[in-house]
Amino acid sequence: MTANDRLSDSELAVWRAFERTAEAVLSHVEREVAGATGISAAEYRVLLRVAENGGATTQRDLALALEWDKSRISHQLTRMHARGLIKRAKSPETGSSVTLTRAGREALAAAQPVHAASVRRNLLARLNAEQRAVLARLHL
C-alpha cells in the first residue's frame, strides 16, 4: 500500500466534514419537507424536475437528470403514479412519458416553500458569501 492508495489526514478531514455536513443538511431538509407535506425527498426531486421541464418529460430524461438507474426511476414513478402525483404513458417514439397531475403540482407547490425555508435555515444561513460561491462552483 502506498501513500496514494489512501487519503492523507488533511484529505480525510475534508471528506469527513463534507460527508457530515451533506448528511446533516439533507436529513434536516428531508424531514422538514416530509413532516410538513408528506412528500419524500425522492418525490420532491421528481416533481421538481418534471415541473422544470414544463410539467412533462420522458422517463429516460428524468433518470438522466436525477442520475438514477432505470430500476430506481421505474419503482419511484410506480409509487408516485399510485399516489396520483404523476401520470405515465408509453409511446413508441419517446418511450415512457411522465406528466405531473394536478395533485402533483399541488404537492410541489406546498413543498417548495417548506423546502426553501429549510435550505435557507440549514445550509445557506451557515455560509458566508465566499463559501456559497465555492459551493455553487462545484459540479460533480
Q: For residue 91, what is the domain's CATH number?
A: 1.10.10.10
pLDDT band at 139 (very low <50, low <70, confident <90, very high): confident
Confidence check: pLDDT of 2 > 80: no
> Does residue 121 form part of some domain?
yes
Rounded Cα distance, 138 and 106, in Å: 32
Asked if residue 1 belongs to a domain, the reply is: no
Structural domain that includes position 87: 7-137
Question: Mean pLDDT throughout 35-62?
Answer: 96
CA gyration radius for the chain? 18
Is pTM beyond 0.85? Reply is: yes
Residue 63 lies in a domain: yes
Sign of the torsion angle spanned by Cα atoms 118, 62, 71, 75: positive
Q: What pLDDT was estimated at residue 4?
A: 82
Q: Is residue 126 part of a domain?
A: yes
**Does residue 13 have a pLDDT over 70?**
yes
Alpha helix segments (H runs only) across 8-83: 9-37, 41-52, 59-66, 70-82
In a domain, 61, yes or no: yes
Domain count, the chain: 1
Assigned domain for 130 exists: yes
Least confident of 12-21, 57-66, 87-96, 115-124: 87-96
